[in-house]
Amino acid sequence: MIDSTSRADVADAERFARIGIPADAESASRIREEFAGWLERFFGLDPIRSSDLVLAINEALANAAEFAYVTTDRPGTMDLIAHYDPDSASLTATIADQGVWRMPNPGPPARTRGRGIPLMEALSDRVTIETSTAGTQVRMQWAGVARP
């Protein structure tokens, strides 16, 4: 859990939060659409920037949905919190799960998989991925995010 005091659903000018979402493909898809709606409502992004942000967020959610709980015997949840800082015109998104980080398989990677992290790196200004026994936290940042 990113912040246990967070309300489950927030979408105002500075913050978009979805806490405790089921870590599955349906939820990843739905939250992506809601996040895209939030961007459209509060920011004046050009089509490339807005497309980049939505895809990066999707890939982080999709990774959590696909991998975080594969070794656990019950379905888990994931959280997305995006925060806008008007002073620095930057947007920070954190995607967290309480699952187990899946180490890449040894040997040559499957060519059909594994593009999530390269995409997150290419589509955001900065990515950090923190893994611990408590779960995985992906933080992405975008600078120069303008208001309309």
Partner 1 sequence: MDEQHATKTTGCVVDEEWVGRVVVVSVSGVVDMLTAPQLEQAIRAALDKKPGGLVVDFAEVEFLASAGMGVLVAVHDEVTPDMRFCVVADGPATSRPLKLVGIADLIELYATRDEALSALSA
Which position has the token pair 């656990």? Answer: 72
Which residues lie near partner 1 (CB under 8 A)?
25-26, 28-30, 32-33, 47-48, 50-52, 54-55, 58-59, 62, 65-66, 111-113, 115-116, 118-119, 122-123
Going by their DSSP bridges, the two strands 9-11 and 15-22 should be labelled as: antiparallel
CB of 49 to partner 1, least distance (A): 8
**Which one-letter amino acid corresponds to residue 6?**
S
CB of 33 to partner 1, least distance (A): 6
CB of 12 to partner 1, least distance (A): 23
Q: Which C-beta is closer to partner 1: that of 47 or that of 106? A: 47
Q: Which residues of 96-118 are buried (b: 16+ CB within 10 A; e: fewer)?
A: bbbbbeeeeeeeeeeeeeeebee
Q: Which C-beta is closer to partner 1: that of 4 or that of 48? A: 48
Q: Which C-beta is closer to partner 1: that of 8 or that of 122? A: 122
Q: Which C-beta is closer to partner 1: that of 51 or that of 141? A: 51
CB of 114 to partner 1, least distance (A): 8
User: What ranges make up the beta strands (E) of the chain?
Assistant: 9-11, 15-22, 77-85, 90-97, 126-132, 135-142
Nearest to 79 by CA among 60, 54, 66, 92: 60
